[in-house]
Amino acid sequence: MTAMQDMMKDPDVNLVLSLADDLLMLGHVQGDWTGLGPILEEDIASSSMAQDDLSHALVLYEHLGNRFGLDPDVIAYERDVADYRCCDLVTMPDEFDWSVAFVRRWMVAHWADPVLDRLAMGGKDLEDRCRRLRAEQGVHLSYLDDWMRRLGAGPAEARERIQAALDRITPLAGMLMEIPGRDLDVDEDFCCGREELFNEWVTAMDAVLSGAGFIMDITLPARDVIGGRRGEHAEHFIQQHAEMNEVRCEDPGAAW
Amino acid sequence: MSGAANPIMTIDPSQEDPDKLAVFESRVASGVLIEPGDWMPQAYRTGMLRMAEHHANSEIIGALPEGEWITRAPSLRRKLALTAKVQDEVGHGQMLYRVSQDLGKSREDMLRDLCIGKTKYHNCFNYPAPTWGDIAMIQWLIDGAAIMNQKTLADGAYGPYVRTMHRINMEEAFHFKSGEDMVLTLMSGTKKQKAMTQEAFDRWWGPSIMFFGPQDKPGCQDMPPMRWRMKTETNDSLRQRFVNRFAPAARDLGLVNHVCEKDEHGIVTGKRVDESCVPDENGNWGFTEPDWDEFFRVIRGNGPCNAHRLALRRFSYEQGAWVRRAIAGGDTTLPPAA
Amino acid sequence: MSKIRQRNFTFADELPPHADGVMHSYIAYTARKDDAPHRYAGYISAPDISLAVEYACEHYGQDEECTNIWVHLVEDLLETPCAEESIDPDSGADGVDADEDPAWVVFTQNHRGDIHIETATLHAPDSKTALSRAVARHGDSRVQVRVVARDRIDSTEPDQLIWRTHDQTYRLARGYSKSVRTKWAAVRKAEDIDEYRKDDIENHF
């Protein structure tokens, strides 16, 4: 078995990859906004956070790379599409609608917090890494929550756009809760309880939204829903993955 | 990365109070830096405003060709570095717009004028970046040219611009080192990588030479931009210094200096070795003069990418209007700038 | 290339109107370490000081190690005209600071073209008195003195995370210096590299 196959067979790896891949792809789509944001200072701030997300993915890939003897770039770029554990919400096209991009990253930032808390139970090395990542994701949460409140206190146009973005994303938000991994037994679960994680995530988001005057109603999907995290990715993820690999694929094995 | 002083800016000092102008010029000539509370000729204010605005526009537009490759960067480190670099350019634009804002034009007006093509930006960003090799070349050659130019701008006379240039240059160092690292990696890589890098060099050598602006007019050192230390070195002097630095470096990397013909899309259609690219007895490297007709064609809006760059910028500006409306405070008048 | 960047755009003849509302101008200063003086970093445009601080953290706070950021409205500073070479400290009047008077932060500029750096804090009943005392105490060998009421400066929290803890060398020149030197040495003579490097920027983040 290759090192990659070894890694993909390890059930705990699915949990780490679910967050790492979410952050990789969120950083990938958000990084693309750099230079195109609505306000120069906001563009700069959002790009910082996109870089954080990419770096956080790298920190988690390094952890896996050390365990299985793999180059983090190989983990990031060269898995089969079906071996990525991100949910397809993170690569859903935002069609250059800032409200959709904003609501999505806000939701994922809220998601990352309790997940990092749980991943930290995976041993000393992972604990150290997750503690640092959680502190930095906390900076994102603070910034994005503040913006949610500002937009909620803003003119009707802003409130309508953000509510419309919430309405559009909410039906897909459950994708974050898909159980990661292929060939799973029905009983396998996130550590520490799936429903508990869901409630923690939604409660934190509701607290911000209700203060801002927005409404959201996310349902916990059934355990057997099969989507991106189970390797059944939407076309838009496949396209993003191909785009990410465009240069590497021109000259496989080359150093860049 | 920077623009040189707008190459076709003219300054007319004839309307200024002659006594005050004489004092101002004497101070500048003796190396005094001008700070915001000082008396300045109106033409100097206008000139510095336009210069900083042109420079800011160049940063904002410069973010676009490189931004095209963030999603395709071939390693996480390169992806992070490219994102940070493009982010820096937005930051440089933000800082430079401030310099012009203090001289009397609002950021919103400057962004609007940029979007409709009323004000200009550096010519080199009107060329395409069709491969990853172009990203490496932009960071090596164009940022290399920018650094040479910006070091002289940091020796200028206008305090707010000088302070901004110092901060920008501190980031520019990373851009250039990252570019060197990429070019060095590619030129010690596979045959395909070397070929890609050579082709990118062919595309970017001309725009790099043109980066410093048109050939010096006779007496330019006595004209206001240099007399008032808005510029501190001539275009030709910087250009020669650039060639002296990069021509031998390119040769040692295994790159060949070509004289190229390009089509209207910026794609090289023919090339021959530039036999003049050798050092003379003084160590000055020769180079074939670029096509200055092309330079002026591109400045006037007829380059390969002008329309697309402006369109993307304008689209981004228009799409973001609701966010600016959402976040702005009440409707009292703007406070005076410091 | 992402789809948005490849799109063909069409526009109305006129740009949409200016955005309504007002933005304020703020000045940001960063401190490299705990107890290090705050140094001028740049301006921020924002609707209020709270967002200005957040923006400053993600803009100026990401350039180099930074443990604290100060932000104040441009209009909240009072400063002397910029002297040619040095302020005359006798042009100010010193006095005895009363603790119950408001605190003022003094920033000074050593030479024309330099940035302003936090120099001291004093107490004075009003801005003019504060500036006068600051000139008397700190004006010598400086070209400009500035005072800002301490309670008009917003600050990041003492242990607030600004500079990130994960590897930042990807965005710093020092992240590439060694690799670049080694790679050049493989293809160029030492004296050619030395000559080439003369145009490098020496002072960087």
Give the pLDDT confidence of A112-165 residue by residue, as tens digits: 999 999 999 889 999 999 999 999 999 999 999 999 999 999 999 999 999 999
Work out the average pLDDT over C154-169. Answer: 96
Work out the average pLDDT over A2-9. Answer: 93
pLDDT at B331: 40
Number of helices followed by number of strands (H, E) in chain B: 13, 2
Strands annotated E in chain C: 24-31, 39-46, 68-73, 77-79, 103-109, 117-123, 144-149, 154-155
Domain count, chain A: 1
pLDDT at A122: 87
CATH of span B13-327: 1.20.1260.10
A151, two tokens: 């937009």
A229: confidence class by pLDDT, cuts 50, 70, 90: very high
Closest CA to C61 of C203, C163, C173, C169: C163
- Chains in contact with A, where contact means 3 or more Cβ–Cβ distances below 8 Å, are B, C
Could you tell me if residue A211 is inside a domain? yes
Work out the average pLDDT over C137-149. Answer: 98
Q: How far is A154 from chain B (nearest CA, A)?
A: 5
pLDDT per residue as tens digits for the range B99-108: 999 999 999 9
Q: Give the span between the Cα atoms of B78 and B73, in whole angstroms.
A: 6
Q: Which of C50, C62, C166 sits opposite A59 (nearest CB)?
A: C166
Could you tell me if residue A255 is inside a domain? no
CB–CB contacts below 8 A, B to C: 190
Tell the burial category of B190 from Cβ atoms under 10 Å away from its Cβ (0-12, 13-18, 19+): middle
**Phi, psi (5° rounding) for residue C146?**
-130, 140
Q: How far is C164 from chain A (nearest CA, A)?
A: 7
In degrees, rounded to 5, the angle at the alpha carbon of residue C49 between the alpha carbons of residues C44 and C54 is 65
Q: How far is B334 from chain C (nearest CA, A)?
A: 6
Domain span including residue A176:
3-250
The residue ranges of chain B whose pLDDT is under 50 are: 1-8, 330-338
C2: confidence class by pLDDT, cuts 50, 70, 90: confident
The CB-side HSE value for B313 (13 A sphere, CA atoms) comes to: 29
pLDDT at B12: 74
pLDDT at B15: 78
* Three-class secondary structure of residue B248 per DSSP: helix
pLDDT at A192: 55
Residues 87-106 of C with CB under 8 A from B: none
**Mean pLDDT comparison of A5-9, B21-25, B36-40, C143-147, highest-scoring range:** C143-147
A90: confidence class by pLDDT, cuts 50, 70, 90: very high
Could you tell me if residue A95 is inside a domain? yes
Q: How far is C67 from chain B (nearest CA, A)?
A: 19
What CATH number did the domain enclosing A114 receive? 1.20.1260.10
C137, two tokens: 């105490």
What type of residue is B200? A
Q: Which of C161, C166, C171 sits opposite A139 (nearest CB)?
A: C161
Q: What order of strands is seen across the sheet that includes strand C39-46?
A: C77-79, C144-149, C103-109, C117-123, C39-46, C24-31, C68-73, C154-155
pLDDT at A18: 96
For chain A, give the percent of residues with pLDDT over 70: 96
Strands annotated E in C59-153: 68-73, 77-79, 103-109, 117-123, 144-149
pLDDT per residue as tens digits for the range A16-30: 999 999 999 999 999
Residues of B in contact with A35 (CB under 8 A): 60, 63-64, 67, 86-87, 89-90
pLDDT at B182: 98
pLDDT at B329: 67
The Cα-based distances of B323 to A42, A162, B29 in angstroms read 10, 11, 46
Residues of B in contact with C52 (CB under 8 A): none
Work out the average pLDDT over C27-35. Answer: 96
In degrees, rounded to 5, the angle at the alpha carbon of residue B130 between the alpha carbons of residues B127 and B132 is 115
pTM for the full model?
0.96
**Interface contact C44-A41, CB threshold 8 A:** yes
Q: Which of A32, A33, A41 to mutate to test the interface with C (most CBs of C within 10 A)?
A: A41
